[in-house]
Structure 1
Amino acid sequence: MRFRSSGYTPLMLMAQTGALLGFACYAVVLTTLQEEWQLSNLESGLIASAFFFGYMLTVPLATALTDRVDARKVYLVGGLLATCGLLGMAFFAFNFWTALIFMAMNGAGLAGTYMPGLKILSDRIETGDLTRHIAFYTAFFGIGTGFSYLCSGWILNGLGWHYVFGIIALGPFSAFLIVLLLIPSLQHEKWKGPINIRLHDIFPVDKWKLVLQDKNASGFIFGYTAHSLELFASRSWIVAFFAFCTVVTGETFFLAATTLAGVINFFGVPSSILGNEIALRIGRQKWVCIVMLTSAVLGILLACSTGQSWWLIFALASGHAIFIMADSSTLTAGLVMSAKENIKGAAMGLHSLMGFAGGLLGPAIFGFVLDISGSRASQTSWVWAYVAVVIWGVLFVIYERRNGWGSKASR
């Protein structure tokens, strides 16, 4: 079956949605496993961070390979790896250490699908505005994670946490099948003969130096790091936060905590797409700075809202999610458009690596601050935990504005 170049985007959006279904499984079962395995908040955060650790270990190799071979091949391996990680959590995880292993495997699988999936599109789209295809692709991160919260919550309530991981494993496996059966190979393979991947191919430090020497490109990368730290910390702990709010207020929310988290994630989809359109008009750097400062304010207000009415908590959580995602596609599209063609693959790899380094740190920082500032049962601890993850975006804006990154818009 053959599609026009623009027809690959809907297929890759479907595949990405399936590949991301395992993203929020652990966030949904976090409190359940914390009680069953007697985990501290730090240990709970570290398991969430293990997902991003696996991603970080794998993404340099995955992106290096996309510069040598058709990214489709990398994607297929990633889909299978994520499936195995989720099945491992379902059938073999029984404590902190085993969960670390299988969550890292799940994250490694995502590394083989997310950026390689974007590379599949950029290699095949010949007409139209590539930045808009990128905007839709990055925005669908919210669709996949939203469905992940919803489906995981429904399965947890009906069957238990083992089934959450076991059934959700069908998601990345369906992504594997979509790419295998519906995305054709490139007509001209990038690399002929044996593929010799050396250490400097996996960690192309020389190319990364060239990327970082470009103030415009490096700004998008560091911005993405701060963005990801806040984003993934919030997504890892939002269900537990809603559960805490329910206990404090004694008032039942109009939806289950997992369903609320899923609905809120869906708001990020139009936010990311519209954010990219606004950025094209007022300048990417200016838009990123506005969004990060607004997101920080909303995050702190959300943390302070415990004990208030559910509608106020929901409104602030929605606003925070919207502004976290409002610069997501802008940061990625800005990096793709600003990086030079001969190092674009390495630039995308560094972008993803740094972003998920933020994702690795975010949940662990959040859990650590909860522990040292009191406990998960203290409102003050939640405020400090949110401050600890939103402050990085504020520091980024201050630093980059002083260094002139926001003074000239990237068109």
Structure 2
Amino acid sequence: MEQATKATPEIRWLGGIQARDAAWLLAMSSMLFVLLFPFSSYVAALPLIKEEWGLNNTQAGFIFSAYLAGFAVSALFVLPLTDRFSSKYILICFASISVVSHILFPIFADNLVTAVVLRVLAGLGLVGVYNPGMRVVAERFANNGRGMAVGTYVTFFYASNSVSLALTGVLMAHLEWRDAYMVMALLAALSVPMAYLLLRSHKAPEGGGSSGALDLSVLKNRATRIFILGYSLHAAELYIVRVWLPAFLVVVLVAKGVDSAEAAITAATVGGIALATAAAGPVVGGILSDRWGRAASASVIFALSGAVSFAIGWLIGFPWPVIIGLTALYGWAIAADSAIYSTAVTEVSEPSKLGSTLAVHSFLGFTGGVIGPIVVGAILDLSPEAIRWGLAFSVTGALSIVAIISLMTVRTPASPPPAPTRPASEA
């Protein structure tokens, strides 16, 4: 007598994705996490670098933004290639560029010019990893849990930024800032073999007849334009906070009588830990947008980050625990909508033009990230001392108003329904 067999139920992870795919997603996200270890090392050392090189706030902001400028401009040339060639080779090549540029920074950077050149190269390296990796993730989870999957990938991006800031701060308590930066850069080198092992069996998608060149016709899609605008305003807010919030925390500590050198280390370490809440932001935002829609979820998150922006700069004299609490809330809010825009453009774009769509998305989005820290740096340089931080963060808050008004004009469905599963008899 034949014994009936029961099919073993497929183990599924949060969002309904299979456990095997979840394991791959976590490994892919971990590769990005490791690559970005030195991402915030410059910001952690910024007070010391400003003093050593004699920089003002505008110049310091310019050096940071050079990284984003390298990312934005390179996106126009690198990302369309993913419509024609495998993301595997692009990702591994540019991961190597990112690692080398970060290793060279503590060795050769000693003024505005050398720092800008090396950070532009680092931005070039990141664009060839972050976005092709996101595309691979979006394609793998096209039928189920795409918002959560992209959100998880982006969550590791934010987690690495916070770890980079905090760990560099810890290292700076024992090492010179250049040595601390070098340790983080060398750790990032582990990402290259990780990328190779993860993607060695990855097969290139069909090119769809694409030439691999940038196609600006993707901007004819109204929903695409609005989500790119939202992403640009999000990036401006995000990088303003990443660059200038640690410096703001230094000002708060100095006002409370802490030595400036000690304040720089404490602000980097404590600020990094507080901003670690950003790590939970994108995956939560992605899950919410799968349920409630991309535009609606992004609008609510922008409202929260905007409210904190309008308040925090005026609270220098408030107790330190209050400031840290607001910093933690801020860190979550500025990150939670990040994956929503990237997920949305993969859904409204023509599949054969996704590389060009992501290129324009990244270029215009990160252009906001380039301009934001420089503008705020100029505000800090030109404003009266008594109101400079309140004014700087209030200008940041105004970005949320523009974003919400724009996003409320577009309506998109939540995550697309999963593709139907074929019965075994039809296989």
Normalized against structure 1, the TM-score is what? 0.89
The amino acid across from 2:227 in the alignment is: F
Q: Is the 8 A contact 1:305 1:312 kept in 2?
A: no
User: Which of 1, 16, 26 in structure 2 is aligned with 1:10?
Assistant: 26
> What's 2:216 paired with?
205
**In the aligned structure 2, how far is the partner of 1:326 from the partner of 1:310?**
24
Matched with 1:165 is: 181
- 1:32-51 Cα offsets, whole Å, 9 max, x none, are 01101110110011001111
Match of 1:59 in 2: 75
Alpha-carbon deviation of 1:410?
A: 4.7
Contact 1:75 1:116 in 2 (8 A): yes
Give the distance between the partners of 2:236 and 2:294, measured in 1 at CA: 20
Give 1:276 shift: 2.2
CA contact (8 A) 2:277 2:328 kept: yes
Matches within 5 A, 1:9-408: 9-125=25-141, 128-187=144-203, 190=206, 201=213, 203-206=214-217, 208=218, 212-250=219-257, 256-374=266-384, 378-401=385-408, 404-405=409-410
Distance between the aligned counterparts of 1:196 and 1:305, measured in 2? 53
Alignment partners' CA distance in 1, 2:346 and 2:196:
26
Q: Deviations over 1:33-90 (max 9, x none)?
A: 1101110110011001111011112122221121111111111111111112112211
Shift in CA distance, 124/262, structure 1 to aligned 2, threshold 3 Å: same
What is the rounded CA distance, in whole Å, between the counterparts of 1:188 and 1:141 in structure 2? Answer: 24
2:7 corresponding residue in structure 1: none
Cα RMSD after superposing both structures: 2.3
**CA shift for structure 1 position 139:** 1.6
- Counterpart contact for 1:5–1:126, Cα < 8 Å: no
Structure 2, unmatched stretches of 5+, are 1-18, 416-427
Q: Which amino acid in the other structure matches residue 132 of structure 2?
A: P
8 Å Cα contact 1:272-1:327 kept in structure 2: yes
Q: Quote the offset at 1:281 in angstroms.
A: 2.8
- Cα 1:81–1:410 change in 2 (3 A) is same
User: Does 265-274 or 300-309 show the bigger shift?
Assistant: 265-274
* More displaced stretch, 35-44 vs 122-131: 122-131
CA deviation after TM superposition for structure 1 residue 152, in Å: 1.2
SS in 1 for 2:315: coil
Q: Provide the secondary structure at the position in 2 that maps to 1:306.
A: coil
Counterpart AA for 2:403? F
Asked if 1 retains the 8 angstrom alpha-carbon contact of 2:311 and 2:394, the reply is no
Give the whole-Å Cα distance in 2 for the aligned partners of 1:187 and 1:108.
24
State whether residues 301 and 316 of structure 1, in contact with CA within 8 Å, keep that contact through their aligned partners in structure 2: no
Cα pair distance change 1:27/1:185, threshold 3 Å? same
Shift of 1:372: 1.1
Q: Give 1:215 deviation, angstroms.
A: 2.3
Higher mean C-alpha displacement, 299-308 vs 244-253: 244-253
Please report how far the alpha carbon of residue 124 of structure 1 lies from its aligned counterpart in structure 2 after TM superposition.
Answer: 4.4
Question: What corresponds to 2:15 in structure 1?
Answer: none
Query: After the TM superposition, which of the residue ranges 161-170 and 275-284 deviates more from structure 2?
Result: 275-284
Distance apart, 1:19 and its partner CA: 1.6
What displacement does 1:181 show? Answer: 2.6
**Which has the larger displacement, 62-71 or 271-280?**
271-280
Larger radius of gyration: 2
Read off the aligned partner of 1:373 and give its amino acid letter: S
User: What amino acid sits opposite 2:351 in the alignment?
Assistant: E
Tell me if the contact between 1:334 and 1:410 (Cα under 8 Å) persists in the aligned partners: no
C-alpha separation between the residues in 2 aligned to 1:320 and 1:187?
40
State the distance in 1 between where 2:288 and 2:137 align: 23
- Percent identity of paired positions between Structure 1 and Structure 2: 23
Q: Residues 379 and 170 of structure 1: is their aligned pair in 2 closer, same or farther, counting only changes over 3 Å?
A: farther
Q: Secondary structure at the match of 2:23?
A: helix
How far off is 1:189 after superposition? 6.3
* Further displaced range: 165-174 or 363-372: 165-174
Give the C-alpha shift of residue 10 in structure 1: 1.6
Q: Is the 8 A contact 1:150 1:259 kept in 2?
A: yes
Instruction: Name stretches of at least 5 consecutive residues in structure 1 with no aligned partner.
Output: none
* CA-to-aligned-CA distance 1:152-182 (integer Å, 9 cap, x gap): 1122221112113311112432111101133
